[in-house]
Amino acid sequence: MALLQISEPGQSPEPHQRKLAVGIDLGTTNSLVASIREAKAQTLPDIEGRHLLPSVVRYLGEGGASSVEVGQVARDAIFEDPQNTISSVKRLMGRGVSDVKTLGDCLPYEFIQSETEMPYIRTACGDKSPVEVSSEILKVLAARARETLGGDLSGAVITVPAYFDEAQRQATKDAAKLAGLHVYRLLNEPTAAAVAYGLDKGAEGVHAIYDLGGGTFDISILRLNKGVFEVLSTGGDSALGGDDFDHAIASWILKQAGQECVGSNVARQLMEIARGLKEQLTTNDSVDVDISTGCFSWQGVISKDTFNELVDPLIAKTVRACKRALRDAGLSAGDIDDVVMVGGSTRVPRVREKVADFFGATPLCDIDPDKVVAVGASIQADVLAGNKPDDEMVLLDVIPLSLGIETMGGLMEKIIHRNTTIPVTRAQEFTTFKDGQTALAVQVLQGERELVSDCRSLARFELRGIPPMVAGAARIRVTYQVDADGLLSVSAKELTSDVESNVQVKPSYGLSDNEVTRMLKDSFEFAAGDKDARALAEERVEADRQLEALRCALAENGSVLLSDEERKNLHDLMEVLAIAKQGEDAVVIRKAIDELNSTSEVFAARRMDQSIHKALSGQSIDSLGDEE
Amino acid sequence: MDLSKNFFQLFALPISFDIDMSNLMDAYRSLQKVVHPDHFASGTDKEKRLSIEMAAHLNEGVDTLKKPVKRAIYLLKLQGIDVDFEKNTAMSPMFLMDQMELREQLEVVGKQADPFAAIDALYERIASMQNARIDDFKAAYNKITNNIDSVGNNSNAEDIVAEMQFIEKLRIDIERLEETLD
């Protein structure tokens, strides 16, 4: 069936075509894609009408031909082919080999150390990184969206747990890149839920978003005020979720049956059984258990009370995180207007009970907790794509974990404290401790603890060429900048001599550039073209983007803000770029883009000033109105 | 946007320790609505860079004015007084005794029957200590601005701010300890 593309009245930003933008919830257990259709944000089903895509990837390598299965068909093969069927890969994102070992009690995969710290999983199709596995899921969702929406996607908003650290965020972005997606923004899951919720209900006030998924827990405190979503604080645990509930049940069963550790296949089977029991215990007071596996069998009963006892310590951990988040926001439980429940694990009645107790409010769960994150992401994607030029929605998000630097004695000195609103730039001055010292190592850290060894090391770089001085005379300014995606770049400069060093932080657990290049080559999307063709294609897209953005800006207020001569200059350079774009040389296009960019700087600054002026004068008119 | 304006001017507020929080937040939000990177996802690279720079500046400004300790330091800075907390050793013996006692308590919190309740109690205690300092600071700052105390003789306000920073440092250490308990 051919799908007609219909623009919604009042939304199509004529004369420009409405852009196709999607929101993707890349979940531990299930993933979803959503978009705005018929003026409504909704998740997109596959041809069989299923909205949820199980986040399971199976690698098949029979007869030399390798292929990949994603979703339910892969999940069905978990027992049959455990080593090549990868589930809950989100828990491995941005993790090092040592982390993975502490995570996986009984993970059935064979891990291989790579040239970086990133673990690879040995499969029938070769060694795969968690980033590659995730990109397979994203590819399927992107293809589903292209087919449903009838066109190429201009960009996507991908959600991540608020508590994801730098490495985990970077890994998610890398996965999107591999899947050929342009990422408008990484959006924190609870924020996405709040967007979906807030716009649905038009709710002003302070909200707590309690998000307990399969593998992660997030708590965020948000204030919604006149279209501004302000995240006041966020906290959680990137390795705590419904899977741990299952694990607690499975361990209890093993204990009852008098069994020690079992093989990986049986362990997985037990986890599936435990998941089933957990689900039945949401409505039943007790459930009969009858297990027979290859190595043992057991019959018994699990009661709701037993289950509650098993999960109470886990829930208590989430409540403590809620308490901390409230404190960071400078609020108490009574200040919260309502609590929104997100994530499948909030279906557990005990969770709702304990959360209701703590906040003293009945938790809201009227939006499908499985879909709400993807829906929120699609609303944000639509705004970022520029489809709603009049919409004033702004998201002010925070960084979840403190960023700092190693100082003498192996101590972590915080430069940007957690729950600081992004984007943020902060600088701190350091000095040399030895006479004649000419170099300084900068160790970039993330975490809350005092000792460097308890924090995560994100990057290390050196500032060299400091002129020899007596100890303490050099003034080295280290600047941390976090952009709106929560990604960090660091620079260091010696102020008396102007020696400078910059680093775009590539987390130690991320992919090396070599690995990214290899994966891009491997991935069949780009197999046909070589690297140059890809660079050319990328620069052309970039040229179009810049030209389009500038055209819109000029049409809006070019005649007011620019002199005839300035306008002519810009038009000339745009013409140069348009011609370069027709050519085959990526370098020429890049040069033309750069030139256009530097010439348009004045225009950008004036536009910004004008908007600010408008915003401020608008405000004073408002406040005058209030006084009357 | 003029980045050289001081933060009070930036948000159209009078220079004072007492600020109207809702005026501050209204001004902050309406400025962010205009400059935030969310509006430039499809913009030119220059616009994006400028937008990050301005949004970060606004965030820095609101963070400075919102938090009492930072606001106090900033007010003194506008008066030409740089508070160097590391070099300020002239704290009252009473204050130092209190701090030592609190630090000792902090060390044994982990061994308490309910460490989380003990931590909550500590938080409350230092919050009330901090509130007392804030009142003292306001009085001292008023003296400076009303020329009762000249800029050359401002040690009182400076000492209070140093104590405030000391307490803030303790609060961060409690936070750190709390992390290790979970």
How confident is the model at residue B49, as a pLDDT?
85
Residue in B25, B35, B123 nearest the CB of A612: B35
Domain boundaries, chain B: 7-66, 93-181
Interface check A585 vs B, CB under 8 A: no
CATH for the stretch B7-66: 1.10.287.110
User: Which chain B residues contact residue A483 at CB under 8 A?
Assistant: 37, 52
Shortest distance, CA B146 to any CA of chain A (angstroms): 30
Q: For residue B55, how many other CB atoms are within 10 A of its CB?
A: 28
Cα dihedral B32, A172, A99, A461, rounded to 10, equals -70
Tens digit of each residue's pLDDT (9 = 90 or more) over B47-89: 888 889 999 999 999 999 999 999 999 999 998 887 766 666 6
Closest-CA residue of B relative to A425 is B56
Interface check B37 vs A, CB under 8 A: yes
d(CA A98, CA A492): 30
Of chain A, the end-to-end C-alpha distance in Å amounts to: 59
Interface check B168 vs A, CB under 8 A: no
Of chain B, the end-to-end C-alpha distance in Å amounts to: 44
Q: Which of residues 470-499 of A touch B (CB under 8 A)?
A: 481, 483-484
Q: What is the arrangement of strands in the sheet containing A440-446, beginning at the earlier edge strand?
A: A411-416, A403-407, A440-446, A456-463
User: Which chain A residues contact residue B35 at CB under 8 A?
Assistant: 608, 611-612
Shortest distance, CA A417 to any CA of chain B (angstroms): 10
d(CA A185, CA A484): 8
Interface check B46 vs A, CB under 8 A: yes
d(CA B42, CA A21): 12
Interface check B41 vs A, CB under 8 A: yes
Residue in A324, A386, A394 nearest the CB of B36: A394
d(CA A217, CA A314): 11
Residues 6+ apart with CB under 8 A from B79: B144, B145, B151, B154
How confident is the model at residue A59, as a pLDDT?
92
Q: Which of residues 362-391 of A touch B (CB under 8 A)?
A: 383-386
User: Which chain A residues contact residue B169 at CB under 8 A?
Assistant: none
Q: Which of residues 126-165 of B touch A (CB under 8 A)?
A: none
d(CA A613, CA A53): 47
A618 with B30: Cβ contact below 8 A: yes
d(CA B106, CA B76): 31
Buried b (16+ CB within 10 A) or exposed e, A351-383: bbebbeebbebebebebebbbbbbbbbbbbbbb
Residue with tokens 């935030």: B36
Shortest distance, CA A482 to any CA of chain B (angstroms): 9
How confident is the model at residue A527, as a pLDDT?
40
Which residues of A carry out catalysis? Answer: 25, 90, 189, 211
* Average pLDDT value over all residues in chain B: 85
pTM for this entry: 0.77
User: Which chain A residues contact residue B43 at CB under 8 A?
Assistant: 549, 553, 604
Question: Which residue from A334, A352, A335, A333 is spatially nearest to A343, judged by alpha carbons?
Answer: A352
Averaged pLDDT in 10-residue chunks for chain A of 628 residues: 42 57 93 92 93 94 75 89 87 76 61 71 85 95 94 92 84 90 90 78 80 88 86 86 91 86 76 91 91 82 94 94 90 90 90 94 82 93 81 81 87 90 90 83 85 82 82 86 84 80 56 51 45 72 83 85 90 91 87 88 84 65 37
Tens digit of each residue's pLDDT (9 = 90 or more) over B129-164: 999 999 999 998 888 887 665 555 556 888 888 889
Q: Which 3 state secondary structure label does DSSP give A32?
A: strand
Shortest distance, CA A324 to any CA of chain B (angstroms): 9
d(CA B70, CA B85): 12
How confident is the model at residue A306, as a pLDDT?
95
User: Which chain A residues contact residue B118 at CB under 8 A?
Assistant: none
Shortest distance, CA A378 to any CA of chain B (angstroms): 14
Report which residue type is found at B44: T
Interface check A393 vs B, CB under 8 A: yes
Structural domains of chain A ordered from first start:
21-188 (3.30.420.40), 192-239+318-370 (3.30.420.40), 242-310 (3.90.640.10), 403-514 (2.60.34.10), 529-611 (1.20.1270.10)
Closest-CA residue of B relative to A401 is B179
Half-sphere exposure at residue A581, Cβ-oriented, CA atoms within 13 angstroms: 17
- CATH topology identical between B7-66 and B93-181: no
How confident is the model at residue A448, as a pLDDT?
83
Closest-CA residue of A relative to B173 is A450
Q: Domain B93-181 is in which class?
A: mainly alpha
How confident is the model at residue B134, as a pLDDT?
93
B137 in Cβ contact with B157 (< 8 Å) = yes
